[in-house]
Structure 1
Amino acid sequence: MTSPSLVWFRDDLRLADNPALRAAIDRGEPVIALYVLDEESPGIRPLGGAARWWLHHSLASLDERLRERGGALVLRRGAAGHVVREAVADVGAGAVFWNRRYGGAEREIDSSLKSALRAEGLEVASFAASLLHEPRTVTTGSGTHYSVFTPFWRACLALPAPRAPLPEPRTVDGPDHVPASDALDDWDLLPTRPDWAGGLRDTWEPGEPAARRRLTEFLAHDLPSYDRARDEPAAGATSLLSPRLRWGEISPFTVWHEAVGVDGAGGFLSELGWREFAWHTLYHSPDLATRNLRREFDAFPWPPLDPAHLEAWQHGETGVPLVDAGMRELWHTGYMHNRVRMVVASFLVKNLLIDWRLGEEWFWDTLVDADEANNPFNWQWVAGSGADAAPYFRVFNPELQAKKFDPQGLYISQWASEAPTEPIVDLGETRKAALAAYDEVKRAPRAPS
């Protein structure tokens, strides 16, 4: 009598370089692939709208690829700890495998589930698959975690090289009878009333095959000019791999090993390092999306919210061309060039004096690549309240940024040709107000950590 292996997929929606899937195949029993849509467990942050759209299509692609190799994807919904144990009982699984997660709530779920399943006599194993270096393995000489990027990345580079990626399995032997599964369409991950995802459909093709193609294209055509052109939003020099990495359609190990030998790859690889640093920070500060990492910023005197200003920013109607171009690109594509992300975030926090958490929430809902580490980490970096943060007095002047990085106005004309031309605030005066507010933070008593 067989005892199938259950592979619990999470943010690792791929077949290649998937250690959990490989362990299940190597065990020699039928493999059951499970994905759980968990919107119920305490501490789990519900996905934003753009992320739900991407998840739908990535799951459809994963299911198709599994079926081509003899397997299938089982979909279930609910609190993960309960749903996984229920699935184990349904199929009589003898082993459960997954790739590790690093958010606080996720780690608690996984740890409790691992203990419960082992107590029932099951084989349970988890694997490193989404980060080049697990957060607990990168520490300072005194054993603490890093709060500044450069020494953090230097420490990562001094560690043994990231492991080689695992090959894609040719077959995934499923059970004779596939367990009961939800229908993907019944999850209502796609917008319908209204269907606002036309721009996303025009821009992206989710799934592992498309991720693989994009990496190949980037390495062949864009990486040689990456360091020179990556800050120019109209240049098209960025990798566009961030949603692929966020959903695990391609692994950082694959990206690393294919890029590391290419001339001029250092700047690109350091961006992988920045991603690692964000997760390193979240691992040690699970409340990163809701609480200032630098506690002295709790004293920042945010003025009463002006809803009209927030709405103008969200809709790309601030009258500041580069800001409006970025926000309109975001709404249409679910993505925004990284340089422009810094500009629009600085404008919200330091010119409109709107709490960074409201910007983080908007990005969470509208970005296809928003994850629980990078999204709040980068917002706190711009706001000045985070790890290795940009000094608060550094205000990204959107007019100067446009002159420097979009000198011919190509990006602005593509996305904001119809935007208002009268700014809703005076950039100079609001900068002064932001610096005055920051002075209050510097004078405030230091809050306990």
Structure 2
Amino acid sequence: MVSPSVVWFRDDLRIADNPALRAAVDRGEPIICLYVLEGDADGMRELGGAAKWWLHHSLDSLGERLRERGGALVLRRGRAADIVPAVVADASAGAVFWNRRYGGAEREIDAGIKTALRDDGVEVASFAASVLFEPWTVQTGSGTPYSVFTPFWRACQDLPAPRAPLPAPREVHAPSGAPDSDDLDAWGLLPTKPDWAGGLREAWEPGEPAALRRLKGFLYDDLGDYDRSRDEPAGEATSHLSPYLRWGEVSPYQVWHETVKNRGTGAHAASASRFLSEIGWREFACHTLYHFPDLATKNWRSGFDAFPWPRLNRAHLEAWQQGRTGVALVDAGMRELWHSGAMHNRVRMVTASYLIKNLMIDWRLGEQWFWDTLVDADGASNPFNWQWVAGSGADAAPYFRIFNPELQRKKFDAHDEYIRRWAPDHLDGDAPEPLVDLGDTRRQALAAYEDVKRAR
């Protein structure tokens, strides 16, 4: 009797180096490839608009890749706790495989489904696929999570090297009577009225094939300049891999081993090490989320709860969102974000610091805006990095570190190439009037941080 396997895809929208898919192929039975759009059920966080755009195209690409191998992607929308067991029962499936995820709500959902299926006699197995090192394997000598990146990354590197990536299966046979699937277009993930995604289409090509091309292009063409030029927003020295990693169209194992293989010597080797440490920073964020599931809503450092946020100035928040602050680098970054769904990392830090420490607006409001507008909005990295800038998070920037956007512009965009592209009005004399005085607001922020110190 045929006993199909179910592979539940989540943030791993690829066929190469996909341990769950590999386990199903090795089991030897027909495979039901399932994706569930969970929405905000059971504590899950609703995807932002830019993320929905990416997800639509990534699922379309994954479906094509599976069809090429004899498979099919089944789409369902709703609570995974209802849908996954229903699909298993309807198909008389004998096994379910998925790759692990690390958010608190996600882990609870997965654990409940695993228990229910096993009680019904179904084989269930989960695998590591989105992090190089499982969160419970990296601990301090006293058995606690690391709160500082450098010793965390050193501890990771003392562990056995990450496993080699798994090859893509040549065939993924679907059962003869595959379950019904929703129509992807009917999910309404793409913007229509208005269609604001023109800049996203111009900047990005979602999907596993594009991810692998981007990885190869970066390692062969750009890696040598990474250490020297990574902080220059007008350049092309960064990898542009973050959305592909967020959606699992490329795995950290593939990135790790391909980078090591192309490490080279001298400056090239230094760039490779620097780039791998950025992969480590992503790991650190994932581990922090695992141990602190409320990362997007609560201060990691509870002492920061005493920060005296003033009453919200909505006009200032909207000006920041729209790139109308009157500060060239901030406005350029926010306009790049709205147009392309992305922003250079150096500029992300500057725009976040300006919102928090010059406009004195709660980091959670900035994090929510990035969540809605970034194609790489990640449940770990996005809040983790906002808390880092705010000073409330793990390995946080010192409270007195307040990015001066004008000095950052002179240092990292000395010829105004980035400003010329995204905020030319600042060069033509038509820039908005500055919302606040940078010096005055810096002093106010420092005074507020002193209040936090005294409250401890």
Name the residue aligned to 1:299: 306
Partner of 2:397: 390
User: Matched residues in 2 for 1:299 and 1:43: separation?
Assistant: 26
Aligned to 2:8: 8
* Local SS of the residue matching 2:57: helix
What is the match of residue 268 of structure 1?
275
Provide the C-alpha distance between the structure 1 equivalents of 2:6 and 2:321, rounded to a whole number of angstroms: 42
Q: Does 1:435 align with 2:442?
A: no
CA distance in 2 between counterparts of 1:325 and 1:90 reads: 52
Q: What secondary structure does 1:369 align onto? A: coil
1:423 match: secondary structure: coil
**Do the aligned partners of 1:40 and 1:78 also contact (CA within 8 Å) in 2?**
no
Q: CA deviation at 1:405?
A: 0.2
| Distance in structure 1 (CA, Å) of the matches to 2:118 and 2:177 | 25
Q: 1:32 aligns to what SS in structure 2?
A: strand
Equivalence for 1:402: 409
| Deviation at residue 90 of structure 1 after TM alignment | 1.3
Q: Distance in 2 between matches of 1:386 and 1:439?
A: 17
Mapped to 2, the partners of 1:367 and 1:421 lie a distance apart of: 24
> Which aligned pairs between 1:25-174 and structure 2 lie closer than 5 A?
25-174=25-174
Tell me what 2:333 maps to: 326
Deviation digits for residues 10-31 of structure 1 (CA, Å, limit 9, x no counterpart): 0000000000000001001000
Offset, 1:260: 1.3
Instruction: Tell me by how many angstroms 1:422 deviates.
Output: 2.5
Give, as a single letter, the amino acid of the residue that structure 2 aligns with 1:76: R
1:87-119, CA deviations, whole angstroms, 9 ceiling, x for partnerless residues? Answer: 111111110000000000000111111111011
Q: Match of 2:175?
A: 175
Residue 235 of structure 1 and its aligned partner are, at CA, apart by 1.0
Instruction: Confirm or deny: 8 A CA contact 1:13 1:62 kept in the other structure.
Output: yes
CA-to-partner distance for each residue in 1:269-318, whole Å, 9 max, x for gaps?
Answer: 00000000001100000000000011111000000011110000000000
What displacement does 1:421 show?
Answer: 4.5
Q: Does 1:210 align with 2:217?
A: no
Aligned match of 2:365: 358
Describe the SS at the equivalent of 2:97.
strand
Runs of 4+ in structure 1 off by over 3 angstroms are none
Residue deviations 1:203-248 (CA, integer Å, cap 9, x gap):
0000000000000000001001100000000111000000000000
Give the letter aligned to residue 336 of structure 1.
Answer: M
- Whether the 8 Å CA contact 1:297–1:385 is kept in 2: the answer is yes
Distance 1:397 1:423 in 2: 14
| CA deviation profile, 1:378-427 (whole Å, cap 9, x unmatched) | 00000000000001110000000000000000001100013524311100
List runs of 5+ in structure 2 lacking aligned partners. none
Give the Cα–Cα distance (whole angstroms) in 1 for the partners of residues 122 and 156 of structure 2: 35
- Please give the per-residue CA displacement for 1:175-210, whole angstroms capped at 9, x wherever unaligned: 112210000000000001111000000000000000
Distance 2:117 2:80 in 1: 13
CA distance in 2, matches of 1:124, 1:442: 49
Kept in 1: contact 2:56–2:190 (CA 8 A): yes
Moved more, 337-346 or 85-94: 85-94
- Alpha-carbon distance between aligned partners in 1 of 2:449 and 2:140, rounded to the nearest angstrom: 30
Aligned counterparts of 1:327 and 1:349: Cα–Cα separation in 2 = 15
Comparing 254-263 with 98-107, which one deviates more in the overlay?
254-263
Distance (whole Å) between structure 1 residues aligned to residue 320 and residue 253 of structure 2: 37
1:21 matched residue in structure 2: 21
The residue that corresponds to 2:356 in the other structure is 349
Residue 372 (structure 1) aligned with residue 375 (structure 2): no
Matches within 5 A, 1:302-321: 302-321=309-328
Name the aligned partner's letter for residue 406 of structure 1: D
Secondary structure at the aligned position of 2:425 is classed as coil
TM-score, with normalisation over the residues of structure 2? 0.97
Residue 426 of structure 1 pairs with residue 437 of structure 2: yes
Gaps of 5+ in 1: none
Amino acid at match of 1:295: S
Shift of 1:48: 0.2
Residues 424, 40 of structure 1: alpha-carbon distance in 2 compared, 3 angstrom cutoff: closer
Distance 2:432 2:405 in 1: 13
- What is the rounded CA distance, in whole Å, between the counterparts of 1:438 and 1:46 in structure 2? 32
Secondary structure at the aligned position of 1:162 is classed as coil
Q: Secondary structure at the match of 2:447?
A: helix
1:223 is matched with 223
CA contact (8 A) 1:7 1:98 kept: yes
* Contact residue 130 and residue 248 of structure 1 kept, 8 A: yes
Paired with 1:368 and 1:198, the residues of 2 have a C-alpha distance of 13
Worse overlay, 203-212 or 38-47: 38-47
Q: TM-score, normalised by structure 1?
A: 0.98
Secondary structure of the structure 1 residue equivalent to 2:98:
strand
Contact 2:42 2:109 in 1 (8 A): no
CA contact (8 A) 2:7 2:98 kept: yes
Q: Please tell me the root mean square deviation across aligned C-alpha atoms, in Å.
A: 0.7
**Hey, what's the Cα distance between the residues in 1 that align with 2:239 and 2:255?**
11
SS at match of 2:205: coil
- Matched position secondary structure for 1:98: strand
1:41 CA drift (Å): 2.5
Distance, in Å, in 2 between the alignment partners of 1:104 and 1:41 is 13
C-alpha distance in structure 1 between counterparts of 2:133 and 2:159, whole Å: 9
Which one of 259, 263, 286 corresponds to residue 279 of structure 1?
A: 286
Larger mean CA deviation between 413-422 and 144-153 belongs to 413-422
**TM-superposed deviation, 1:43:** 1.1
Matched residue of 2:51: which SS? helix
> In the alignment, residue 387 of structure 1 is paired with which amino acid?
A
Is the contact made by 1:321 and 1:421 (CA closer than 8 Å) also made in structure 2?
Answer: no
Structure 1 residues 302-353: Cα deviation after superposition (integer angstroms, max 9, x where no partner): 0001111000000000000000000000000000000000000000000000
Give the aligned residue type for 1:322.
L
Structure 2 SS opposite 1:260? helix
Q: Equivalent residues in 2 for 1:254-265 (5 A)? A: 254-261=254-261, 262-263=263-264, 264=269, 265=272
